[in-house]
Amino acid sequence: MLTIIMFLSVLSVLVLIHELGHFLAARIFGVKAEEFGYGFPPRLIGFVKDRGKWKRVKGSDESSYAKTIWSINWLPLGGFVRIKGESADDHVNDSDSFQSKKIWKRVLILAAGVAMNWLLAYFIFVSIFLIGAPSILEDVPAGATIQDRSIRITSVMDGMPAAKNGLMSGDRVITVAGVVPTDYNDARNLIAKQNETLFEIRYIRDGEEKVVTITPVQIKELGHAGIGVALADIGIVRFGIGQSFWYAGIATYGYTRDVLFAFGTMLRDLILLHPLGQDVSGPIGIAVMTGQVAKQGIVPLLQFAAILSINLAVVNFLPIPALDGGRVLFLAIEKVRRRAMGQKLESGIHQVAFIALIVLILLITVRDLGRYGGMIVGGLKGLVGM
């Protein structure tokens, strides 16, 4: 249940912020927003502010309302904004219609959604840097405040003594052979000094101190004995206001570049009919990951939400029909041709592309069910007390 709530909460915030961008840009350029809704239809309840008073929406002739309808809908999966004349040509001559505006204004209205997602990610990163986030203490910029230093295991090699004895990534090393190491290099040297002799490692996992006895083996790549772990100095790194704004920009740019590269690889695989990579997830996979990240604390959840927001921005601005980027592409074609494409043809192209996207999401969802089905069933059993 917590996983579902967290997933819907994160998704709703990201989508509503995206739609808020369209709404604000539309109002700035004098375009009427006919409805702004939380969730997707059918509508549960709707209100409109008329002459300073809130009134409940009644009847089906919603275009007769001069103000925006604010609604709550039955499917709690984000939200939407319905802009006058965005997908129809029967309002071309209305001054408050999307279709009546100059191309550059329509482009900005369409681009405002992804801009808001990037801004959301940016300010989430600002918040993370202000409150502090776990980071590897290597090349930390001057001026940063570091708290809660520790030596952590960052990865474990399969088949090596560490893996065989249950050590895991994230374990906090306390002592090595009875000695408290000063940093990760000291811990690594202490392990190497044991050669192939049995010794103890004390560590903390999930707040509980544990101990394991382990025997190193010779690792050819290292040229000395080891247990098959990578170590790092980890701490909570916090920045001042100025640095937080600066490094938030760097983080937003870096993740955007990575997301673009990932989607480029995915599109290439789709064109070449290659199987999708295992790191591609649909709604179920994202819901499971949201639940897993939420258990790690507020900072990892915020970081995950920022990355999802960047993903949403990149996806929506790809030049694919049915997406914001596809609509901008049609406006660019209109600018070159100096006349709009036929509304029926453009709508048909958007509909076909939308169906193709839905089919792709369904295929990924089926694969996610194969990967996470056991976790979902287990969660449902726990929910109903089976």
Tokens encoding 5: 């709530």
What span, in angstroms and rounded, lies between the C-alpha atoms of 2 and 12? 15
- The pLDDT value recorded for residue 380 is 33
Tell me, yes or no, if the pTM score tops 0.95.
Answer: no
Q: What is the pLDDT of residue 36?
A: 93
pLDDT in tens, 239-263: 999 999 999 999 899 889 888 887 7
Question: Per this entry, what is the length of the chain?
Answer: 386
211: Cβ contacts below 8 Å, ≥ 6 apart: 200, 201, 202, 203
CA-based nearest residue to 77, from 361, 274, 279: 361
CB 152 within 8 A of CB 172: yes
Share above pLDDT 90 across residues of the chain, in percent, rounded to a whole number = 33
E-strand spans in 23-178? 33-50, 53-56, 69-83, 133-136, 145-156, 172-176
As annotated, the residues of the chain forming the CATH 2.30.42.10 domain(s) are 145-238
Structure-token match 């000094």, residue found: 193
**CATH fold of 145-238, please?**
Pdz3 Domain (2.30.42)
- For residue 12, the model assigns a pLDDT of 86
Q: Which residues contact 147 (CB under 8 A, 6 or more apart)?
A: 132, 235, 236, 238
pLDDT in tens, 14-65: 899 999 999 999 999 999 998 999 988 888 898 888 777 888 887 555 656 7
213, β-bridge pairs: 200
The first and second tokens of residue 349, run together, are 């192209």
- Answer for the pair 248, 131: CB distance below 8 angstroms, yes or no: no
Residue 259 DSSP SS3: helix
Q: Is the pLDDT of residue 283 over 60?
A: no
Sequence-separated (6 or more) residues with CB below 8 Å from residue 113: 18, 19, 21, 22, 316, 324
Highest mean pLDDT of the ranges 16-20, 82-86, 138-142, 364-368: 16-20
Q: Tell whether the model's pLDDT for residue 163 goes beyond 50.
A: yes
DSSP 331-345: HHHHHHHTSPPPHHH
Give the model confidence (pLDDT) of 2-18 as tens digits: 667 777 788 888 899 99
